[in-house]
Amino acid sequence: MVPPVKSAIPLEQMRGEDGLDDKLLREMADQAIRYVRSFQWCLDIHEKYFGDGFGGIIALFLFRVTIRGRETPEWIWVFVGDLPSSYLEVDGFHTPRKALLRYITGVEDWVGTREDEREKRDDLPPIEVPPGPEILEILKGRIDTLRCHVLPHMKDA
């Protein structure tokens, strides 16, 4: 099946800019696969693609997965890196840049929401972060870095 993101490449063809980047991206791909398989709703991963990313910082993967309770497999983005892992349905986010921007704004919303309110909101990304104000400050800094230094270099096709 053709992925809904034109710039995505099969995981087997993924290459980093150099040997270290290549190694880091492969480790991140393995992390993304383990992350998705950790959910009970994920019955199978049928297709695996690399969207874009920077080894050790952030990588976006595009997976076609069978989700418990749905008849046909769905495409999802999976985000892994030096931030909390998360996933997002592809609908409406058909480029790595759009998907990463949604991840960034979602985490910003998550950080700005009181802890006791997060579970009540289904529009926040599914992330797990240890409690504590110092962790939130670190997360804010990393999200700022993504927005200012990574997002402008992500594929928008």
- Would you state the pLDDT for residue 35? 97
Q: How far apart are CA 97 and CA 90, in angstroms?
A: 12
State which H helix or E strand residue 11 sits in: none
> CA–CA separation, 32 vs 4, rounded Å?
19
At residue 131, the pLDDT reads 80
Name the residue ranges covered by the structural domains of the chain. 9-153
Q: What is the pLDDT along the chain (157 residues), one digit of tens a residue?
A: 789 999 999 999 999 999 999 999 999 999 999 999 999 999 999 999 999 999 999 999 999 999 999 999 999 999 999 999 999 999 889 999 999 999 999 999 999 998 889 888 988 998 888 888 898 999 999 999 999 999 999 999 8
| CA nearest neighbour of 4 among 89, 78, 104 | 89
The answer to whether the pTM exceeds 0.95 is no
- Positive or negative, the Cα torsion across 64, 155, 138, 136? negative
In the prediction, which pLDDT does 119 show? 85
The CA distance from 96 to 43, in Å, is: 25
Question: Looking at residue 2, what is its pLDDT?
Answer: 85
Sheet holding 86-89, edge to edge: 9-10, 42-54, 58-67, 74-81, 86-89
Element holding 56 (H helix, E strand): none
Name every residue whose Cβ is closer than 8 Å to that of residue 133 and which is 6 or more positions away in sequence. Answer: none
